[in-house]
Every structure is written in C-alpha cells, then in structure tokens.
Amino acid sequence: MEKIKIYDTTLRDGMQAEGISFSLDDKLMIAKHLDSLHFDYIEGGYASSNPKEMQFFIESAKLNLKQAKVAGFGNTRRADATVQNDASLNAIVACKTPVATLVGKTWDMHVTEVLRCSLEENIRICAESVAYMKNKGIEVVFDAEHFFDGYKRNPQYAMKVLAAAVDAGAGTLALCETNGGCLPAEVYDITKVVKTRFEKVIIGIHCHNDSDCAVASSLAAVDAGARHVQGTINGLGERTGNANLCTIIPNLALKMGFEVLAQDKIKMLTETSRFVWEVANLQSAANMPYVGASAFAHKAGLHVDALRKNKNTYEHIDPSLVGNERRFLISELSGKANILAKLEKANITEDKELAKKILNQVQELENRGYQFEAAEASFELLVKKLMGDYKPFFELEKFHVNVERNSAGKMVSQATIKMKVHGQVEHVVSEGDGPVDALYSALSKSLERSYPNVRDIHLVDYKVRIVNPAAATAAITRVIIETRDKDNRWGTVGVSENIIDASWQALVDSVEYKLIKDKMALPVNE
C-alpha cells in the first residue's frame, strides 16, 4: 500500500479564516490531537508574524509529539536582504523545527508586480533561501505559490523556479493552487508534467476552495503522482477555505487504497472535526461529507425502508469507518419505515401499530409547529410517553421570569421556580444573562440536590423560529436547544405562542433526556 504524507496547515492557513483566532493553548491542543492521529506534518504558523506564533514553537517542542513533524512557515528572503539577515528565514531557524516550509513566487506576474524584482533575481532568491535552510540541517518543503496560474501563463519560468528549489535541496515541491480557480483536469495535467520532470523529489499539492474544487483537485493531483497533500481540518482557511482534510483523508484511504495516517485512526476523523469546530468556537457544518452530522442522515421514507433491508442502498461507506453514525430523521415527510428504524436503533421490538401511533403524533405536532429533525431527544421522550414508559422527574408548580433595565442601563434577568422533586418543595431564584439563561439556571439548581449530574449539562446553542409570521406578535414560536455533557450532544424542541414557554419546554426535555440517558429515573411520585 503506497503512502501519502498528510500535511496539516490548520494552525496557519486555517487561522486565516474569517472569525478564527486560536489562542496558544488552542493551537497546542490541536497539534497534540493531530499527532495522536499520526499526521505526518503540522504547520505551526508563520514564524515571524507575532510573538504568539514563536511561543507555539517553543511550547510545541515540550509536547513530545510521537509522529508528526512540526513545520515553521515563512517566505523566501526579501529582494533587498541576504539570507543571513532576512527576518523571515531566521525566525524559522529560531523555531528549531525539523521542517521549514518556504513560500516562493512561481508566477512571473507576482515577481515583477509584487516582489518588483527581475525574474532571474527571484530564481536566486528561491535557491539561496532553500540552500540556507538545507545547510542548517532542516528539511525543506518548497511551497510554489500560484504555481498553476503561473504555469498557465509562463510554463518555462514556473518550471525554472522549481528546478532551482530542487537543485538547492528542497525535498518536497508543494504545488499551490493559491487562487482556487483551476479545475481538477487542469491540476491533473500540470501536476503530471511536474512529476515527469522531477521524478526524484516528492510532489505535493496545496489547494484553495474558491471554485469549490479543492478536494477534487487535490485527489486529481494524487492521481497524477503527488504523494504529499496539504489542507486543513474542516476546510478552514482564507476566503472560501482550503482543501478539507476530513474529506480528502477518507477518500484516499477508503476509495483510492492509499496508506494515510495510521489505519485505525481514520475512525477518529468525525471526533477530530467536531473537536476543531469546538476549539474554534464555530457551529459545525452539518452537511460536511463523511464527518458532518447529516452525512449519514436519512429522511425520505423510501430511503429508510431500503436501508433497513440493505445498508448499501443509500450509503457509500459504513459510517463507523470515519467515526460517524447513521441517523433516521423524523418529520411529516417520514413514513412508518423511519419510525420503525428509530425503534430498531433503540432496541425496541418492531411494533407496526406503535409506529403508526408515533407517526400520527409526529405529523400532528409538526402541523402545530414542532420539528424533530434537530430535536431527536424530544422525539425519544415522545416515544417513551406513547409507550407508557415515561414518568416525570419533577412536578412544576409555577415559574416566574422578570427582566428589567437598571439605572446603569444594564439588563438584568431573574427567574423563580417552585416545584416538587421527590415530594420535597424546591423554591429557587436565579439570575442569568437573559431570561432563558436565568430560567435554566433556576431549573438546574432546583434539581441538582436530587440529580447532581445536571451539573454536567451545558447549553451550546439556542435557535428561535417564528412558525407563522403572518400572525405578527401572536405568532407561534419554535425554540430548538442544543445541549451537551462530557460525552454527547442532543437537541430538544418547544413550541408556544410565548417564547419563554417554548424555551421552558425545550429546557425540560433537555434535562429529562440527560437524566434518562444517565439512568437516574427517579419519578416524583416514588
């Protein structure tokens, strides 16, 4: 099985995405996680850009990474400097990393209009910069910036730059599709030419996603002979992002038969994707191939019926190969097959009458504004209620929410809850950042004496949708809440003409699902 080296640039290119700002600790956590999957290279950052980047290289040396080589990134020397006094080059040297990734110009337009030096001078710049690093005992990856656009305009010059880098000691030529505008067929043809010309060095590929072809172009380059692939987790990157390693890696390993990472680590990809989304403080992309929450989610009754008979009918791989799972969505479009599949997954004996009863209830609730696609926890509670297996964990007497603006102009929210838990009255007052936060805080405090595991719950997302906007202020409101504990995430839903009441319904479902999941089923009447 032939090896493809995976080079991750999430900590540099990924950080250039709008809305991303990893702290030093964030970067160290991500690096350690990627090393556990046996990534070959981790690009730590632009060494000369700021003190935090340099501190990363100092601290990453203490991580004792087992597999990945950390690469320092920087430019070839400035046109008005020597390699000995160039700030970018010497910042990489100071990083003490085993690998230096040098970005050099291969498009003649960039040489004359950006660097503003002669074409021959740029070739000397690239050669001297590579040789300087090589003489320091550092492995050199030469990132040929704008290579494909440069080749299309002036192929002879683009190839001369590569030749200079190779002659100076570059071990890898990473061909950069920097503007992201090439189609996969172009990338294949040009990479093939480079591979034929430079047989004794590793050819790499680095694609941006401006025409939504980054993954396809990266795979095309591999078909043409590239054996080093650069990209980012979740495709994070400047503008529309970089090639998504969470898609490239399983394609290479599962579809193309290459050795990628360690064979038993591919199943950690879904976890890795969600880990990086979480560290970046961004909502995950549900429709992402392989690792997205919707990648193996099935809604059409026809599809679900076929899947129950043969899993290959509507899935291109077993979801578990990448650490994901099959999901059956419930909505008014569902048939009995969807319900039966959900019951089967929950280890409930097939019961067509129960399935029909559940389907009718789902359709009735969705007509009233409920939606269960993103609220599977609420659906599971609904099933328990219809089966007669549900018993409440507490009995609400009343709650009150107060919102006021004080003299300092600050908004203050306070919630009061009175309810019975195990026959004992709990009367709690709590403040929060908003009315829902205050209500959740009061609910949690009311329960934690009897159910201490509610302290593990964290609300991570809150969505509001007006179901019938034509009704104006009397419109029905749907609230979807996403909750997590240390092991899982789940969604719940509430619907009401009053947004606080809708939120309360979703909060109660969220807490009860947690308690049932943890098997702390202690109903109020026992």
**What DSSP string describes 296-330?**
TEE--HHHHHHHHH-GGGS-SS-GGGGT---EE--
Percent of the chain past pLDDT 70, that is, above it, reads: 90
If we measure between CA atoms, which residue out of 346, 331, 344, 343 comes closest to residue 301? Answer: 331
Q: What is the mean pLDDT of residues 76-101?
A: 92
Tell whether the model's pLDDT for residue 272 goes beyond 90. yes
pLDDT at 92: 92
Q: What are phi and psi of 126, to 5 degrees?
A: -65, -45
Q: How confident is the model at residue 184 (pLDDT cuts 50, 70, 90)?
A: very high
If we measure between CA atoms, which residue out of 387, 386, 378 comes closest to residue 330? Answer: 378
| Half-sphere exposure for 87 (CA within 13 Å, toward CB) | 6
Q: 193-250 pLDDT, tens per residue?
A: 999 999 999 999 999 999 999 999 999 999 999 999 999 999 999 999 999 999 999 9
* Whole-number Å distance between alpha carbons of 195 and 244: 23
pLDDT at 521: 44
pLDDT at 337: 59
Q: 172-182 pLDDT, tens per residue?
A: 999 999 999 99
Q: For residues 99 and 73, is the Cβ–Cβ distance under 8 A?
A: no
Q: What is the mean pLDDT of residues 495-524?
A: 83
pLDDT at 46: 87
Q: Where are the domains of the chain?
A: 5-280, 297-367, 395-517
* Whole-number Å distance between alpha carbons of 60 and 77: 25
pLDDT at 362: 77
**Domain 395-517 -> CATH class:** alpha beta
Q: What is the mean pLDDT of residues 5-23?
A: 93
pLDDT at 309: 62
CA angle 195/200/203 to nearest 5° reads 45
Task: At 498, list the tokens.
Answer: 């009053």
User: What is the CATH code for 5-280?
Assistant: 3.20.20.70
Percent of the chain past pLDDT 90, that is, above it, reads: 56
If we measure between CA atoms, which residue out of 246, 254, 217 comes closest to residue 37? Answer: 246
For 10, 56, 231, 279, the CA distances from 27, given in Å and listed in that order, are 9, 7, 16, 9
Tell whether the model's pLDDT for residue 526 goes beyond 50. no
* Whole-number Å distance between alpha carbons of 211 and 401: 49
Q: What are phi and psi of 355, to 5 degrees?
A: -60, -40
pLDDT at 448: 87
pLDDT at 524: 45
Average pLDDT, the chain: 88
Q: For residues 76 and 103, is the Cβ–Cβ distance under 8 A?
A: yes
Q: 285-328 pLDDT, tens per residue?
A: 889 999 998 887 766 656 656 656 666 776 789 888 999 887 76
Q: 327-383 pLDDT, tens per residue?
A: 766 655 555 556 666 666 656 666 677 777 877 787 788 778 887 767 888 888 888
Tell whether the model's pLDDT for residue 519 goes beyond 50. yes
pLDDT at 469: 64
Q: What is the mean pLDDT of residues 508-516?
A: 91
Tell whether the model's pLDDT for residue 258 goes beyond 50. yes
If we measure between CA atoms, which residue out of 67, 76, 38, 73 comes closest to residue 54? Answer: 73
Q: Which residue did the predictor score with more confidence, 393 or 99? A: 99
Q: For residues 77 and 88, is the Cβ–Cβ distance under 8 A?
A: yes
Q: 396-444 pLDDT, tens per residue?
A: 999 999 998 877 888 889 999 999 988 889 998 998 888 999 999 999 9
Q: What is the mean pLDDT of residues 126-144?
A: 96
pLDDT at 399: 92
pLDDT at 523: 46
Tell whether the model's pLDDT for residue 522 goes beyond 50. no
